[in-house]
Structure 1
Amino acid sequence: MNSQTVSVIIPCYNAERFLAEAIESALGQSIAATEIIVVDDGSTDQTRAIVARYPQVKYIYQSRQGVSAARNYGLQVSCGEYIVFLDHDDYLLPNALEAGLAAFRQHPDCGFVFGVCRNIDTNGIRLQGSNRAVLEHPYPQPIYPNILKGNSVHPPARHLFHRSVFETVGKFDTTLTVAEDYDMYLRVAAAFPGHCHNQEVVAYRTHDVSASTTARPSHHLASTLKVLKKQQPHLRQNPQYQTAYRQGKQHWIKIYGRYMVYDIKFYLLTKQPQLAAQSLYLLLRYYPQGLLRYARELLANLSRRWTASTTC
């Protein structure tokens, strides 16, 4: 394996809307990628035809198995010493690989390096005042406890990984349908030192059909807490990590807990009682105040309706 070889792996499903932009961003790097691999996770649209426009890109098809399985397949067939996982709806900035490789030369002890994001909307326009604005800021040290706390290092394309990290920590967890990338960030950062070079390397797109926006909050919370629990063996004898773990748990409960009551309503309306029960359990265990908030909201709505009816 030659030094400084980089594999860019693009997992995708029904990716015709954004895939060409992702591929062209990988092809347009200031330091060329050794290979670009698109792993099609069972698409039924024009994904295959789009990839066919780029003969220098390797195309692999698998039946629908999820993004983790697609990333794992790409990793298995890739040959680069360094790995980038580029989601099909994001794109790399021209200096992404160059910045990552330079950071590795300066920090050869690291297992991974990463930069910061440019947040964009569906049309590629830079977002101002986004709730993801923190992803554009320099990342604080130390890295592992900050990831534990919930300080995001998303999306995957921010990172350049040394292949050896996967030989140590294993592949993406295919039992997770959300938070699978958070799980990998934690596993890698627990096992290897990392470095944030703070250069802008990826445009991170916000749109309505991404996995992060379509999954229900209760599903997000259950998966994220499962991911955090897997880190417990690393917390022993380290008070800093234990504190970060507790902070992270409360962070994610606060993020998702306030919306779980609406999951219960959604699952009942869509005749999914088992999922409604699971959401109720999570709500009562981790965010019971959500019921009080919802009750207040209902009372406020009833009051407004009553006021409107009496003034007509």
Structure 2
Amino acid sequence: MNSKPLVSVIIPTYNRGDKLSVAIESVYRQQYTNIELIVVDDGSIDNTPDVLKKYPHAKFIKQQHAGQAAARNNGLQNASGTIIASLDSDDYWEPEFLERCVEKLEADKLDFVFANWSQQAKIGNDWDFLNQDPFLMPYFEKLADSWVVLDHSELRKVYMEACPSPSSSVVIRKSSIVSGWDYRINIADDWCMYLEVILSKECKAAFTLDRLWKKRVDDINIYDGRKRNEVLRYLYISDTLTMMDKFKMLLTRSEMYILKQRYMASLVELAKHELIREYNIKECLKLLKDSFTVNIPFTLKMIPDVFMKGLKGKYDALSSRA
């Protein structure tokens, strides 16, 4: 009988037939062996079903296309393990990923852990992601035995500023998950889920700077594959609004203002894009109005900096063509 806890690995996938096998094989190559693999096909129209026929031991769930959050929740509802790990179908884990993460999770009785990764660059070499994370750097001095443990106040501070742990990097206790991944979220469903865990209870987590997985990048990634204006509109504006509403009773005044600042700064930057790149004055004014509605002084402070930077960039681009 296996004394180690069962880990349910959830792989949500949508039209990733060309990369799915690599993700699945990385799960089956794990040094940690007490694993339940659940692949949730979010309505793929490519060769995904044919790929899955090669893995009869995986639990396969087919759903109508509803997005990555719905797929993860479907996997969670069918998970038997006490520990959950969600691997994106375009990423893959190194063989020691689960062994290292589960060992730390259990030894320190943590709510979740996350691991550093090699980020694929569209041009050039892969790069070390977390070692360059400005929000985690202040905690590097706490490094011990390859791990940094963050207490509840530190987690709140870090995750209000950014999400240093994309889905493929995290191993979490099923009992720590509050309501799962929010289907209303466009991009930041993982960020929203971790914030809910952190804001709802006193919790602890840890991260390692050892690179234990690989983030692969192409033009259809939920985040990395989007243009900057799409990231602004869907992540930093729409998703931030959803999180502000969802967590309004759990956030301190200063934490709420951090989200509001991110929201307003993104509105101003997107307004700049609409004016300078799309020549859409009406949309530009609407976005600025939305920001003014939240805070007039902050918006007035942001406008000259953002717009002058945008105009300079456009001028430099035109000059380089001359």
* Same fold per superposition (TM over 0.5): yes
Distance 1:267 1:74 in 2: 41
Q: Is 2:212 the counterpart of 1:212?
A: no
With normalisation by structure 1, the TM-score equals: 0.78
Which residue of structure 2 aligns with residue 238 of structure 1?
none
Distance 2:272 2:45 in 1: 34
- 5 Å-filtered alignment, 1:173-184, equals 173-184=182-193
1:113-153 per-residue CA deviation (whole Å, 9 max, x = no partner) reads 2222222236995236x799429965673443223431322
Instruction: Return closer, same or farther for 1:124/1:172 CA change in 2, 3 Å cut-off.
Output: farther
Which residue of structure 2 aligns with residue 224 of structure 1?
240
SS of the residue 2:57 aligns to:
coil
Distance 1:103 1:299 in 2: 48
**Matched-pair identity in %:** 24
Range moving further from structure 2, 254-263 or 216-225: 254-263
Which residue of structure 1 aligns with residue 269 of structure 2?
258
SS of the residue 2:31 aligns to:
coil
Instruction: Return closer, same or farther for 1:229/1:28 CA change in 2, 3 Å cut-off.
Output: same
1:20-77 per-residue CA deviation (whole Å, 9 max, x = no partner) reads 2111111111112521111011111111212222222222110011111100000011
The CA deviation at 1:177 is 1.7
Distance 2:245 2:11 in 1: 29
Q: Is 2:196 the counterpart of 1:187?
A: yes
Instruction: Return closer, same or farther for 1:86/1:172 CA change in 2, 3 Å cut-off.
Output: same
Which residue of structure 1 aligns with residue 93 of structure 2?
92
Which residue of structure 2 aligns with residue 70 of structure 1?
71
Range moving further from structure 2, 256-265 or 77-86: 256-265
Distance 2:276 2:316 in 1: 21
Range moving further from structure 2, 41-50 or 280-289: 280-289
One-letter amino acid of the counterpart of residue 234, structure 2: H
Calculate the aligned-residue CA RMSD, in Å.
3.7
In 2, are the aligned partners of 1:149 and 1:251 still within 8 Å (CA)? no
Structure 1 unmatched runs, 5+: 236-240
Match of 2:155 among 144, 149, 162: 144
Range moving further from structure 2, 137-146 or 111-120: 137-146
Which residue of structure 2 aligns with residue 43 of structure 1?
44
Q: Is 2:114 the counterpart of 1:114?
A: yes
Instruction: Return closer, same or farther for 1:216/1:71 CA change in 2, 3 Å cut-off.
Output: same
Which residue of structure 2 aligns with residue 58 of structure 1?
59
Structure 2 unmatched runs, 5+: 141-147
1:135-183 per-residue CA deviation (whole Å, 9 max, x = no partner) reads 99656734432234313223112111111123xx112111112221111
One-letter amino acid of the counterpart of residue 12, structure 2: P
1:186-207 per-residue CA deviation (whole Å, 9 max, x = no partner) reads 0112225222141433222333
Instruction: Return closer, same or farther for 1:69/1:296 CA change in 2, 3 Å cut-off.
Output: closer
1:224-281 per-residue CA deviation (whole Å, 9 max, x = no partner) reads 243144333234xxxxx54455345435654674244325777887xxx8x8776454
Instruction: Return closer, same or farther for 1:66/1:76 CA change in 2, 3 Å cut-off.
Output: same
Match of 2:249 among 233, 238, 245: 233
SS of the residue 1:152 aligns to:
coil
Which residue of structure 1 aligns with residue 145 of structure 2?
none
In 2, are the aligned partners of 1:7 and 1:81 still within 8 Å (CA)? yes
Distance 1:66 1:249 in 2: 26
In 1, are the aligned partners of 2:23 and 2:89 still within 8 Å (CA)? yes
